[in-house]
Amino acid sequence: MSAPPDYVLARQRAIRDPELFWADHAARLRWHTPPNITCQPSDVSPGLVEWFPDGKLNTAWLALDAHIEDGRGEQVAIIHDSPVTGTKTHISYAELHRQVALCAGMLRSLQVKQGDRVIIYMPMVPEAVIAMLACARIGAVHCVVFGGFAANELAVRINDAQADIILTASCGIEVDRVVEYKPLVDQAIARANHPVRHCVVLQRPQAVVGLQPGRDLDWRQQLAAAVPADAVPVAATDPLYILYTSGTTGKPKGVVRDHGGHAVAMRYSMEAVYGMQPGEVFWAASDVGWVVGHSYIVYGPLLTGCTTVMFEGKPVRTPDAGAVWRVCAEHGVKALFTAPTAFRAIRKEDPRAELAGRYDLSQLERLYLAGERLDPPTWEWLHEHIRRPVLDHWWQTETGWAVAANPAGYGLAETRPGSATFPMPGYQLAILDDQGQPVASGEQGNIVIRLPLPPGCLTSIWGSPERLQTGYLSEFPGYYQTGDAGYIDADGYLFVMGRTDDIVNVAGHRLSTGEMEEVLGSHPAVAECAVISVPDAIKGELPVGLVVLKNDVTIEAVRLSAELAALLREEIGALACYQRTLVVSRLPKTRSGKILRRVLRQMVRGEEWTAPSTIDDPGCLDELALLLQTPEGAEVVGVSQ
């Protein structure tokens, strides 16, 4: 099936005259000073460009004041749905504007100036969004750190961002467990080399904490005394935020996003990628600490005039595997965006999607998945049971919005399981071999993006612009190296198979772990899986599969291992040399849902390993370590519990 005609025209325009294409989309925003220059080479980051460098605007003004001027003040801006506290709150654009202006005034009273960095370390509460917009309103640079990160991780971010102010909460809530944030913040401040002048604490009733006199301040008291602050026009190239990539070890890598290009890209992508219009309800089931939360809980929906859902809960256990469907039905969600791991968890507990049948999903039009590879079995399960378009799309913290997607705003194309569909207008993709040469259609290689990058992508690495060159631009001159491997088929569909280091080299055959996971995941007993490599004296490397079984499945481990090996022989060939399966109750993941493959490789190989601060459930690593200590290396272990 060919691509939608409107998409083809837009992509051709973006390739033929990118400056005119993006100037047209920039003109849809209300600038304090409209730009005369669309883009120019960056002095800070050679190889990149600065978008709209002579323009001035304010992101928070566009997200709030502009809608109020248009008569949307009484429209709901944020729905905060918190099953862990049993509360639901609807905040209008007018009320959100009032609270953001007061929070901005509070920051001003603490001597926060334009360009200063502010750490936001909060759970999924409206105040986290208010804090982000308040920083943008006065031109301060926010740095959101996922709530509950270890003290050392917070300390290194304080040091790297040179942040004087921390906005936090007394606690977060993980299902039925209260996680006190204040002790972590205190430890981080003690460890940090850069001094923190003030820590403003939102006291939650689940944990009221003591405050250190002079340094610590009460959020509500400070807000009550604040004078509302007006929005300050800033240069389009000024930094809006720093976001540190998850899983960073050593010196953190802070992705910098600007005001102008970011606002243009967010507004464009909400319509082009997600097909959203003002007044409609959008739900990105993520956390504000991740790039998805920045782009599509906060900025994308609010810049567009949508209602955004902010969910403080989990896809399962709050209270059950029907939570996602309940939220969609109750709040009239038009488009839902989450990670495949959420639906794998739901599928594991509710294999026949019986809980979805309890809710009226008539307003839900599309499901979007990203953050990790969407395996075809999960796609097929959703397609069969939910009967809505299930749209994979692919992007990164560094890009800020979708590199490839099925473009709802231009008309949906035929979906193909395992594919993120087509490059979005503005991105020119290529597949190169390790020597930088283009590969044939259907052949796997390195996925790269021809420079310049479009608006909305990273503009630098905070404090270390040279890391942009070494990490992204030097390996393939003229291209941005995504670090992902994949291929483009004869019809132009992009298939992202995994990170370039997620390759198993079996006797010279380079095999994708993503492709093998696709096969293992097709087995009716398997809810979730991961394939990693282990050294082999003869073959160099061999694949090992770790599988999680569905809750309603009982199968002998030896039989399962034999069936999985047969599947791989049939679909990939005997060259995969797959023989070893480990059955586990859960896979170790980061809080954003990414499987900790490096740690898994270290554990299976018997190497030293440490649990990263980003892990969602440290106990699963202990379980796996114990499993691997069983006799004969646990060739095949376990059955469904």
pLDDT single digits (tens) 349-383:
999 999 999 999 999 999 999 987 787 888 999 99
Kind and range of the H or E element at 488?
A: strand 479-488
The pLDDT value recorded for residue 343 is: 93
Collapse the DSSP code of 378 into the 3-class scheme (helix H, G, I; strand E, B; otherwise coil) and give the result.
Answer: helix
The pLDDT value recorded for residue 501 is: 67
Per the listing, tokens 């883009």 go with 39
The rounded distance, in Å, linking the Cα atoms of 335 and 315 is 16
The rounded distance, in Å, linking the Cα atoms of 114 and 111 is 10
Q: Which fold has domain 502-637?
A: GMP Synthetase; Chain A, domain 3 (3.30.300)
Give the chain's residues under pLDDT 50.
Answer: 246-250, 631-641
CA distance to 34, 58, 93, 250, per residue, from 227 (Å): 29, 19, 19, 40
Write out the E strands in 293-345. Answer: 307-311, 335-338
CA distance to 3, 106, 163, 275, per residue, from 406 (Å): 9, 42, 39, 10
Write out the E strands in 287-374. Answer: 307-311, 335-338, 366-369
Q: Peptide bond before 425: cis, by omega within 30 degrees of 0?
A: no
Collapse the DSSP code of 447 into the 3-class scheme (helix H, G, I; strand E, B; otherwise coil) and give the result.
Answer: strand
What tokens appear for 117 in the block? 């960095």
**Buried b / exposed e along 28-67 (16+ C-beta atoms within 10 A):** ebebeeebeebbeebeebebbbbbbbbbbbbbbbbbbbbb
- For the chain, the structural domain boundaries read 502-637
Instruction: Give the dihedral of Cα atoms 336, 340, 344, 350; nearest 10 deg.
Output: 10
Query: Is residue 489 within 8 Å of 441, Cβ to Cβ?
Result: yes
Query: Is residue 561 within 8 Å of 549, Cβ to Cβ?
Result: no
What tokens appear for 366 in the block? 């599309």
β-bridge mates for residue 447, sequence order: 431
Collapse the DSSP code of 581 into the 3-class scheme (helix H, G, I; strand E, B; otherwise coil) and give the result.
Answer: strand
Alpha-carbon Rg for the chain, nearest whole angstrom, is 24
| Reported pTM | 0.85
